Structure 1
Amino acid sequence: MSATVEGGSSSPTRPRWREVAYGGMQLGFDDNHTGETFLADMVMNANVVKRDLLKVMQDSISISQYLCIVALVVLVWTYTLRSTMNENSLLILDGTLLVSRFLILILTEEMLSLGLLLHYFLNISFFTTGLYVLAPIYQTLTRSNSSDSIWAATFSLLLLHLFLHDYSGSTIRNPGALKNPNLTSCISLNASVVASVFIASRLPSRVHVFAIMLFSLQVFLFAPLIAYCMKKYSFRLHLVFSVGLMAVTLAFVYALHPLVFVLLLGIFIFVTVVCPYWLIGLQECKFEINGPWDEAKLCFDITD
């Protein structure tokens, strides 16, 4: 005989489902059960950043600026290999770059002290002495290799350098920086150094090798630092310097070869105008869905 309650029901009430991160299965519900408000918290494109075309174009100028710097280095290499620039001209250029770098650092870097300047001066002294001692080794390093192989390797290394270069920061650690450059920046710098050694190994004298190596390493090591300090000091100064550098580079390239001038001008337009417009257009194709199905982010309230 079953016991019944008169005027009532014998079925138990169903427990309420609760949304918990780590609670295991709940009685009466499947493991993949979702509540009625599961899709109410769905958000479309929550993390998509709306970019301004003018701001992206201004940021892309840093890339064009460094392309100009590398193009000027290649121009100096070309004129040196053609004997248009002799060793005296290269040494004067090296001294001018060295003095200019220290002046720009003094004028733009607020955290620069006399002790840090002395540290830089000692490092440059050891660096220059080491280059002069190693110049005979660099001169004979690729004597057994053909020139075509050297040009192809140098071109490939420069492409690798441009592809891996950190255009938002500095190749070496700037004063006051909290972290060192990343691995790709170091690989990029090493590629430029090896390319410089390959070019120096094709020069006729020890002084030529020393001068071109000093010039190349000054540019590849310290030009990103100078550009970074200048941009941090004044963005308007950064823009004026970049536009002037583009004009000077294009003028020298045109004097070398008009076809190279057209190619370089097209690269500048593509990097500064086409790529930012392309990026802004691709932002409209961004489709991202966020909701309760994403990985839970636990927040712990720690009170004293």
Structure 2
Amino acid sequence: MAAQPRKTWKKILYENQGFPDHYVDESFLDELKKNLYTREYEYWNIVKESGVVTQQLCSVSIFVMVFILMDVKLLAAETLGYISVCLTVLGYIVNCCLPLKSDKTRTYLDDMKTVCIFAGFSYCLSPVLVSLTETIATDTIYAMTTVMLIANLCFHDYGADAEMVSGVLSLNSGLFASVCLASRLHTTQHSFVAVTFAVQIFALWPALRRNIRQAIPSSHVTMTVTFALMTVVSLTFISMTAAILLIIIIVFITFVCPYWLITLQPYKNNIHGPWDEAVITD
């Protein structure tokens, strides 16, 4: 008797072909593709983009420095208040002058109302804030502050499309850290200006940086270098060891990590094929 021709397997589910459910033939891997969406990086582009991390790290460092100066009574609450007001007005003017698509329904009067409401509530709650953590040990407060500042750095929106990015969580972590530190200051005025400065450094300043970069992309490198130098120089007056440590961290983030990423790119091995989930396209 003549041998019956072998039945050809087809990639269908609605017909019993006489094969096990998990059977596939050699044609199944014909559609295998590797590293289909791999992105090729350039070293100096990554170095430039890492500036947003450096800027946020410097922001956290400046906030800690301000607290230390107020805690040792080298920075008066009135002085920080005047500086904060001047920087806020300057930043608001710069932001208004940027050629950005802004919300036309919001007026200058609306912004002033927001500022007044926030300042009023913060000032009224300052007496409560000073005595908020009296029953908690100072070491515990510093430990919670450290964790919250690390969370602020980890979850900050650096412009990357990642699951762990959460601007709200980052901002809340920074504000929680400011409340913890402000509760260890001497007077209600110190607590008030500390929380106000935290809002500026963790909420307003990142938004202004983002708007400046969007309007003037060439300013990103200049702003990063200037901000980093200003932070390091200021930190030398408080602790030379901390300043050196900050320099090492900045160099590692700016130059070592991009090189590390590029050297690891050849080891990337993503596979794509008929087992991927179907994507409906127009």
- Structure 2 counterpart of 1:139, from 117, 124, 130: 130
Q: Percent identity?
A: 27
Decide whether aligned partners of structure 1 residues 108 and 35 sit closer, same or farther in structure 2, where only a CA change above 3 A counts: same
* TM-score relative to the length of structure 1: 0.83
Q: Secondary structure at the match of 1:92?
A: helix
What is the aligned partner in structure 2 of residue 94 from structure 1? 84
What is the aligned partner in structure 1 of residue 184 from structure 2? 202
CA apart distance, 1:295: 2.8
Render the CA deviation track for 1:119-155: whole Å, top value 9, x for unaligned: 2221111111100110100011112233222222222
Q: Which runs of 5+ in 2 are unaligned?
A: none
Decide whether aligned partners of structure 1 residues 95 and 34 sit closer, same or farther in structure 2, where only a CA change above 3 A counts: same
What is the aligned partner in structure 1 of residue 59 from structure 2? 69
Q: Secondary structure at the match of 2:27?
A: coil
Counterpart contact for 1:132–1:210, Cα < 8 Å: yes
Equivalent positions of 1:1-304 (< 5 A) are: 15-20=7-12, 22-26=13-17, 28-108=18-98, 110-112=100-102, 113=104, 115-168=106-159, 184-292=166-274, 294-295=275-276, 297=278
Higher-Rg structure is 1
CA apart distance, 1:256: 1.4
Decide whether aligned partners of structure 1 residues 29 and 105 sit closer, same or farther in structure 2, where only a CA change above 3 A counts: same
Counterpart contact for 2:47–2:258, Cα < 8 Å: yes
Render the CA deviation track for 1:26-66: whole Å, top value 9, x for unaligned: 2x545444445333333222222211111111111100011
Q: Secondary structure at the match of 2:70?
A: helix
Counterpart contact for 1:105–1:226, Cα < 8 Å: yes
Decide whether aligned partners of structure 1 residues 144 and 11 sit closer, same or farther in structure 2, where only a CA change above 3 A counts: closer
Render the CA deviation track for 1:213-237: whole Å, top value 9, x for unaligned: 1111121111111111111112211
Counterpart contact for 1:71–1:249, Cα < 8 Å: yes
Counterpart contact for 1:253–1:260, Cα < 8 Å: yes
In 1, Cα distance between equivalents of 2:175 and 2:277: 47
In 1, Cα distance between equivalents of 2:223 and 2:184: 33
Decide whether aligned partners of structure 1 residues 156 and 19 sit closer, same or farther in structure 2, where only a CA change above 3 A counts: closer
In 1, Cα distance between equivalents of 2:190 and 2:280: 63
Q: Which runs of 5+ in 1 are unaligned?
A: 1-8, 170-180
* TM-score relative to the length of structure 2: 0.89
Counterpart contact for 1:25–1:31, Cα < 8 Å: no
The aligned length equals: 279
Decide whether aligned partners of structure 1 residues 115 and 288 sit closer, same or farther in structure 2, where only a CA change above 3 A counts: closer
CA apart distance, 1:111: 2.0
In 2, Cα distance between equivalents of 1:36 and 1:157: 54
In 2, Cα distance between equivalents of 1:211 and 1:188: 20
In 2, Cα distance between equivalents of 1:106 and 1:206: 32
Q: Secondary structure at the match of 2:134?
A: coil
Counterpart contact for 2:51–2:220, Cα < 8 Å: no
